[in-house]
Amino acid sequence: MNLDLSYVVIRTHARIADLLNHEQIQRLAESKDVEEFLERLSKTTYGQISNEGTEMVPVALEKAFYEKFLERILEIVDLTPHKMGDFLKIYYYLRFETLNLKRIIRGKFSGISPDENMASLVPINSYLIRSYKELTESVSVSEVVNHLKGTPYSGVASRLNLYEKYDIIWPLELALNQIFATSIFENAKALPRHDRQVIRNIVEFEADIENFLVAVKQRQGLRAEINFEEIFPVTYRISLDKLREVVETKDLKKVIESLDQKYVRVLSPIYEGDVALIRTGLRRHKYETVTSARASNEFGFNVIMAYLIYSEIEKDNLVGIAWGKAQGISPKNF
Amino acid sequence: MEMKKRIGFIERGCGFLKLKRDHLAKELSTSLEILKGRRKLLLNNLKEAYSALTAAYISLGPSEVDSQANSVKSALVLEVLPRSVMGVRYPYVKILSKPKVTADLDITLARASEKIFEILEELIQLAEFESRAERIADELGKTNRKVNALENTVIPNYKLVIKFIESKLDEESLEELVRMKRIGGALASRRK
User: Residue B57 domain-assigned?
Assistant: yes
Contact B61 A170 (CB under 8 A): no
Chain A residues within an 8 Å CB radius of B102: 109, 167-170
Residue B131 and residue B89 in contact, taking contact as beta carbons nearer than 8 Å: no
CA distance B65 to B69: 6
Contact A276 B56 (CB under 8 A): yes
Contact A323 B107 (CB under 8 A): no
Q: Picking from A22-26, A156-160, A221-225, B21-25, which range would have the lowest pLDDT averaged per residue?
A: A221-225
pLDDT band at A225 (very low <50, low <70, confident <90, very high): low
Residue B49 at interface with chain A, using a CB cutoff of 8 Å:
no
CA-based radius of gyration for chain A: 21
Q: Picking from A29-38, A292-301, B43-52, which range would have the lowest pLDDT averaged per residue?
A: A292-301
Paired residues of B93 in beta bridges: B80
Residue A106 at interface with chain B, using a CB cutoff of 8 Å:
yes
pLDDT digit string, tens, across residues A48-81: 776 665 666 888 889 889 999 998 888 888 777 7
Residue A159 at interface with chain B, using a CB cutoff of 8 Å:
no
Report which of A74, A68, A32 is spatially closest to residue A49, judged by C-alpha positions: A68
Reply yes or no on whether the pLDDT at B56 is more than 70: yes
In sign, the C-alpha dihedral spanning A36, A37, A41, A42 is: negative
pLDDT band at B87 (very low <50, low <70, confident <90, very high): confident
CA distance B152 to B158: 11
User: Residue B174 domain-assigned?
Assistant: no
CA distance A257 to chain B (A): 21
Residue B63 at interface with chain A, using a CB cutoff of 8 Å:
yes
Contact B107 A103 (CB under 8 A): no
User: Residue B160 domain-assigned?
Assistant: no
Residue B42 and residue A95 in contact, taking contact as beta carbons nearer than 8 Å: no
User: Which whole number is the average pLDDT over B51-76?
Assistant: 86
Which of A59, A212, A270, A275 is the best mutation test for B, with the most CBs of B within 10 A? A275
10 Å CB burial of residue A174 (0-12, 13-18, 19+) is buried
The CA-based dihedral angle spanning residues A220, A221, A225, A229, taken in that order and rounded to the nearest 10 degrees: 70
CA distance A244 to A21: 41
Residue A160 and residue A172 in contact, taking contact as beta carbons nearer than 8 Å: yes
Number of domains in chain B: 1
- The CATH number assigned to the domain holding B40 equals 1.10.287.3240
Chain B residues within an 8 Å CB radius of A177: 104
CA B58 to mean position of chain CA atoms:
46
CA distance A238 to A243: 7
Across the A:B interface, residue pairs with CB atoms under 8 Å apart total: 86
For position A319, what pLDDT does the model report? 92
User: Which whole number is the average pLDDT over B144-171?
Assistant: 91
Chain A residues within an 8 Å CB radius of B73: 109-110, 167
For position B148, what pLDDT does the model report? 92
Q: In this predicted model, which residue has the larger pLDDT, B180 or A226? A: B180
CA distance A60 to chain B (A): 9
* Helix locations, A120-239, DSSP H: 132-136, 141-147, 160-166, 170-189, 193-199, 205-218, 228-231
The Cα angle at residue A279 between residues A274 and A282, in degrees rounded to 5: 125
Residue B136: which residues within 8 A CB-CB, separation 6 or more? B24, B27, B28, B31, B85, B86, B88, B90
User: Which whole number is the average pLDDT over A218-239?
Assistant: 75
Give me chain A's average pLDDT, please: 86
pLDDT digit string, tens, across residues A305-314: 899 999 999 9
Residue B131 belongs to domain spanning? 2-147
Q: In this predicted model, which residue has the larger pLDDT, A197 or A69? A: A69
Which of A57, A61, A98, A106 is the best mutation test for B, with the most CBs of B within 10 A? A106
Options 1.10.132.50, 3.90.226.10, 1.10.3720.10, 3.40.190.10; CATH for A1-79+297-334 is 1.10.132.50
How far is CA A67 from each of CA A61, A90, A99, A325, rounded to the nearest angstrom? 10, 18, 15, 20
Report which of A102, A101, A305 is spatially closest to residue A203, judged by C-alpha positions: A305
Reply yes or no on whether the pLDDT at A173 is more than 90: no
CA distance A214 to B167: 92
For position A1, what pLDDT does the model report? 46
Instruction: For residue B63, give the nearest of A62, A110, A279 by CB distance.
Output: A62
pLDDT digit string, tens, across residues A235-280: 888 998 998 888 888 888 999 999 999 999 999 998 888 888 898 8
For the stretch A254-261, contacts whose Cβ atoms lie closer than 8 Å and that sit 24 or more positions apart, written own/partner, are none
User: Residue B97 domain-assigned?
Assistant: yes
Q: What SS3 state is found at B88? A: strand
Reply yes or no on whether the pLDDT at A98 is more than 90: yes
Contact B102 A169 (CB under 8 A): yes
Q: At what angle do helices B107-149 and B2-60 cross, to 10 degrees?
A: 160
Residue B107: which residues within 8 A CB-CB, separation 6 or more? A213, A214, A216, A217, A275
User: Residue B158 domain-assigned?
Assistant: no
Domain boundaries, given as residue ranges, for chain A: 1-79+297-334, 81-191, 192-296
Which of A112, A206, A217 is the best mutation test for B, with the most CBs of B within 10 A? A217
pLDDT band at A102 (very low <50, low <70, confident <90, very high): very high
Q: How many CB atoms lie within 10 A of CB B178?
A: 10
pLDDT digit string, tens, across residues A112-150: 899 999 999 999 889 899 899 999 999 999 999 999 998
For position B140, what pLDDT does the model report? 92
User: Which whole number is the average pLDDT over A77-106?
Assistant: 86
User: Residue B167 domain-assigned?
Assistant: no
CA distance A316 to chain B (A): 8
User: Which whole number is the average pLDDT over A95-102?
Assistant: 93
